[in-house]
Amino acid sequence: MTAPELRVGVSELRRRPGNRMQLDRSVPLGPLAISSSSIPEGEEVLLSATLEALSDGVTLSGSVQVPWQGECRRCLEMTSGVVTVEIAEIFKDRTEGELGEILPISNDSIDLGSVVHDAAILALPIAPLCKADCAGPIPEVFPVITPETAEADPIDPRWASLGELRFDSDPSE
């Protein structure tokens, strides 16, 4: 269900093409997550946009600021930030036979819920970093194990005799 703050009446705006309306809304989107980053519960997303009336619809242009948190992909420490994503959409009265994805104007109002939701989820970092030069885990705490220093897996005694098997023939023959 869309937050009531994201339902905007456009009847006055549509009276004359070229009319503009500024929107500044702060709305909670609830917990959204992808991969290892998420919008925490209770955090608010900030929408700053301009609506402009067209002869047959309304344009929306602006930005959405999305607070996020997640695990750094290198050191696995929790990190957070705010990402800003630009949005631009067109809302029209739905007509029969019209192809493509049309964002509808219904009852002289537009619903920005899906636009803000989609922009927010697509803005989340897929593999976040705590800082650009993150070196990864602390070597003293999390040593890097190379193949030379790694212990070999124990061999199943039922298959141990296969390790002694040698072929005398040359494979090119």
Give the residue extent of every domain in the chain.
4-123
Place of tokens 């990190």: 79
**What is the structure's pLDDT at 24?**
92
Phi, psi of 118 (to 5 degrees): -65, -45
The two structure tokens encoding residue 83: 């990402």
**What is the structure's pLDDT at 35?**
84
CB 130 within 8 A of CB 71: no
Gyration radius (Cα) of the chain, Å? 28
The series of mean pLDDT values per 10 residues for the chain, 173 residues long, is 75 83 88 88 91 88 94 90 93 70 81 90 91 80 65 82 80 59
**What is the structure's pLDDT at 8?**
85
